[in-house]
Amino acid sequence: MVIAKLLAARAGVAERAVYSRHLRRVWGVPGTLLGARAWPPLFKDKIHTSFNYWWQAHLLDCMIDGYLRSPNELRKTAIAKVVRGIRVRNVLGWTNDFYDDIAWLGLALQRAQNEVGIARPKALDAIAVRLRDGWTDHAGGGIWWKRNDDFKNVPANGPAAIFLARQNERTDLARARSIVDWVEEHLVDPGNGLAWDGLHVHPNGEIREYEKNIFTYCQGVLIGACVELAKNGQQDKWLDKAARTITAVHDDLATNGVIRGQGGGDGGLFAGILTRYLAEAALTIPDLDPDRHETADLARELVVQSAEAAWNNRVMAVSGPLFGPEWTVPADEKEGRDLSVQLGGWMCLEAAALLERHGLNVATA
């Protein structure tokens, strides 16, 4: 049996490993930190010019998770340094051309402000303005994946909807509802209830083709957006959609209750993101509707079983555990080099620790 009090400790061990192996100053500038993209770094990593903007947003989210698990000034200072590091490394401002990137950062900065007390109002304003402007009527609505592109997808629209719903502005909440309605109409498979990746649009606004790839993090942000909207009215509508997606994840995207991995690189984050929003669903749904305890229990079980598998299949490396991209098999040091993969494992462990803190039954065989 998993001893519940160990879950927070496990998350702390994962946290320390990422801090030790990946956190570095930006160009040596004091008061900054960012996550190095790989450990141990190869020559190609040392000359790689991209700083993986959206990975840093999830690094920041994980650091906030760690702070909430065990608040102290050292964690708060490190969070502030990463926030500054992102701004310094991005050079020209807080945003870039990718709407999904800036939505992820927006979500992390909202949490930094509301839960840690590190506020960057100009950043949040800039991100909100950009996301509002990303909506067009092409393909019936939705936000673009990238500026001046022809693709609209769930990875941009999902986090944007969550961000706008949390802005506490009536017009932003209405836009968040429109975004999720658009996703539901155009990008949810009517057969299995899972969200596809996205669609391409002709210049005249007509849909050209669909990208029907199924990614775990698309399901995560759709669940997260539905749960967030359920807090603000039309509760049955949004919780029905969240429940459908949670069930579909269990049936089609998990092996013996463990969420499947989707490789390294960007894919290393996908399963972790799903566990984040499953944990939020497990906590929030019973408060909104106690009769939906089976849905909440299913979300909880997916998180806990995934966290247990990730931990049991870790390997020990310098400075702590190393997780693999696929939690059902033993980790491999080569496959676990990417920061994204380690953040995915850490995020999953923090999700389980969050459930523990709120008194949910986290013991599993």
Q: How far apart are CA 172 and CA 143, in angstroms?
A: 13
CA triple 198-200-206, angle to 5 deg: 120
The DSSP code for 145 is S
Rounded Cα distance between 182 and 295, Å, is 24
Q: How far apart are CA 75 and CA 55, in angstroms?
A: 19
pLDDT at position 1 is: 40
What is the per-residue pLDDT for 365?
37
State how far the Cα of 18 lies from the Cα of 280, in Å rounded to an integer.
Answer: 23
DSSP 276-300: HHHHHHHHHHHHH-GGGHHHHHHHH
Residues 6+ apart with CB under 8 A from 336: 264, 315, 317, 322, 323, 324, 325, 342
**Coil vs helix vs strand at 50:** coil
The 10 Å CB-count burial string (b at 16+, else e) for 293-319 is eebbebbbbbbbbbbbbbbebbeebee
Round to whole Å and give the CA distance between 107 and 164: 9
At residue 2, the pLDDT reads 46
Return mean pLDDT, the chain. 95
Q: Name which of 221, 214, 11, 218 is nearest 107 in CA terms.
A: 221
Judge whether 316 and 299 are in contact, CB under 8 Å: no
Nearest to 216 by CA among 200, 196, 230, 191: 196
Mean pLDDT by 10-residue block, N- to C-terminus, for the chain (365 residues)? 73 98 96 95 70 97 98 98 98 96 98 98 98 98 98 98 95 98 98 98 97 98 98 97 98 98 97 98 97 97 98 94 97 93 98 93 55
Domains present along the chain, CATH in parentheses: 6-358 (1.50.10.20)
**pLDDT at residue 318, as a whole number:** 85
pLDDT on residue 269: 98
How far is CA 207 from each of CA 150, 153, 188, rounded to the nearest angstrom? 10, 12, 15
pLDDT at 359: 86
- Identity of residue 83: V
d(CA 232, CA 234): 7
- Given this model, what pLDDT does residue 333 score? 87
Please state, in angstroms and rounded to a whole number, the distance separating the CA atoms of residues 107 and 109: 6
Q: Helices 170-187 and 216-230 sit at what angle, rounded to 10 degrees?
A: 140
Other beta carbons within 10 Å of 25:
14
Q: What's the confidence (pLDDT) of residue 187? A: 98
pLDDT at 5: 78
The pTM for the full model equals 0.96
